[in-house]
Structure 1
Amino acid sequence: MKVLTVEEVRQELRAPLLTSGRGSQALHDAIVAYRANRRSGTRATKTKGTVRGSGKKPWAQKGTGRARAGYASSPIWRGGGVVFGPQPRDFSKKLPKKVKRLALLKALSGRIAEGAVFFTETIELPQPKTKELLKRLDSWDRKETLLLVVEKRESAVWLAARNHPLIAVVSATEVNAEDLLWPDRVVLERPALPILDRRLDRGGKQS
């Protein structure tokens, strides 16, 4: 593997890299949306209408010397319902395609500027084994997290990487801005570059 310089990437990608602050807001919005979309939104509490218990009046309205009480599931009673508690909801956020594209371009530009993007030829393994994959990643520091961006989900690479806690594999058609930010190193397969180029082609003017 070798590290990609900004000039080398510019030769491979028609989409201009972002070297200024442009795209920072799009990147922030995309990360917030991706994380929100993973929330299940299933937490819930029981209200006075759903808590177990009858609606029978505990005692007479007058004459007992006690305070008035209408039902045992009252929120002010122990075992009663919860007032304004969380209920199931949808946390998902929708992003325009232009925002997703700009966020991906911003994330890739930032990682390239950091020197965290590496390049390799097509990854072909004789057997879907982790040790075979590690032989191909000879210059990789085994303490760093690694993201492999490949042309497609080739079964051998996918199976070889899934047993390693520090390696993740994603296809060029599925990779997003958040995927590029978490690892210490990003390794791009050469056949994946044209696919990324098509996705970033309308990323905007160079800035």
Structure 2
Amino acid sequence: VSGTGRKPWRQKGTGRARAGSRRSPQFAGGGVVFGPQPRSHAQRLPRQMKRLALRGALTGKFGDGAVKVVEDLAMDEIKTKVLIEHLGALGVAGGHVLVVAPSRDESLELSARNVPGVDVILADSLNVVDVLRADTLLFTRAAVEAMRALPAATEAEEVPA
């Protein structure tokens, strides 16, 4: 906003509209009437829609053959090398692998932390973005059962195994 605070012309007798300041919004260089208000325009996605999206993403990965289910991924010791060998034996080495665990397993998380392209996520934290980003999904049997225990999008639906 630029300009002086002086009244540009007298109130009456000029034939022009009354004006109090050159800074008012109708003048060039004047103020903005209703300027931008900082606010979040984010919208929440309905819970059922999130569940259906996750179900669709898992179904798509399952159809592509990118889902593997193993009995257990328990690590005896915290060793990255052991995890890499284990993943290689399962045929999922290379690409982005998402390991879905039923509960927190510190040895698995610490072993996978330094392996590029391997992420560990809990079954109840599984989301569409992580599923779609991964080339291969590696579930444990317990993780599949934990996901089945989660509420489905509708009563009749279940998580594909």
What is the TM-score with the length of structure 1 in the denominator? 0.56
Which one scores higher on RCO, CA 8 angstroms, separation ≥ 6?
1
**In 2, Cα distance between equivalents of 1:75 and 1:134:** 69
Q: Which runs of 5+ in 1 are unaligned?
A: 1-47
Against the structure 1 CA distance between its residues 130 and 92, is the aligned structure 2 distance closer, same or farther, given a 3 Å change threshold?
A: farther
Against the structure 1 CA distance between its residues 83 and 62, is the aligned structure 2 distance closer, same or farther, given a 3 Å change threshold?
A: closer
Alignment equivalent of 1:99, drawn from 37, 49, 62: 49
Which of structure 1's runs of 4+ aligned residues deviate more than 6 A? 80-83
User: Letter of the aligned partner of 2:8 in structure 1?
Assistant: K
Q: How far has the Cα of 1:94 moved from its partner?
A: 4.0
Q: Which runs of 5+ in 2 are unaligned?
A: 10-20
Against the structure 1 CA distance between its residues 81 and 180, is the aligned structure 2 distance closer, same or farther, given a 3 Å change threshold?
A: same
**In 2, Cα distance between equivalents of 1:91 and 1:75:** 35
Against the structure 1 CA distance between its residues 58 and 150, is the aligned structure 2 distance closer, same or farther, given a 3 Å change threshold?
A: same
SS at match of 2:125: coil
* C-alpha RMSD of matched pairs (Å): 3.3
Against the structure 1 CA distance between its residues 193 and 99, is the aligned structure 2 distance closer, same or farther, given a 3 Å change threshold?
A: same
Residue 159, structure 1, aligned to residue 110, structure 2: yes
SS at match of 1:58: coil
**In 2, Cα distance between equivalents of 1:92 and 1:171:** 25
Against the structure 1 CA distance between its residues 122 and 76, is the aligned structure 2 distance closer, same or farther, given a 3 Å change threshold?
A: farther
| Residue number in structure 2 paired with 1:16 | none
**In 2, Cα distance between equivalents of 1:75 and 1:164:** 62
CA contact (8 A) 1:101 1:203 kept: no
Residue 61, structure 1, aligned to residue 7, structure 2: yes
**In 2, Cα distance between equivalents of 1:119 and 1:156:** 19
**In 2, Cα distance between equivalents of 1:196 and 1:75:** 63
**In 1, Cα distance between equivalents of 2:33 and 2:111:** 49
Whose Rg is larger? 2
Against the structure 1 CA distance between its residues 62 and 172, is the aligned structure 2 distance closer, same or farther, given a 3 Å change threshold?
A: closer
Q: How far has the Cα of 1:178 moved from its partner?
A: 2.7
Paired residues in the alignment total 142
**In 2, Cα distance between equivalents of 1:152 and 1:75:** 64
The Cα offsets for residues 93-116 of structure 1, whole Å up to 9 and x where unpaired, read as 0413x3333222222111110111
| Residue number in structure 2 paired with 1:191 | 142
**In 2, Cα distance between equivalents of 1:86 and 1:60:** 29
CA contact (8 A) 1:146 1:185 kept: yes
| Residue number in structure 2 paired with 1:140 | 92
Identity %: 25
User: Letter of the aligned partner of 2:119 in structure 1?
Assistant: A
CA contact (8 A) 1:102 1:204 kept: no
Q: How far has the Cα of 1:89 moved from its partner?
A: 1.4
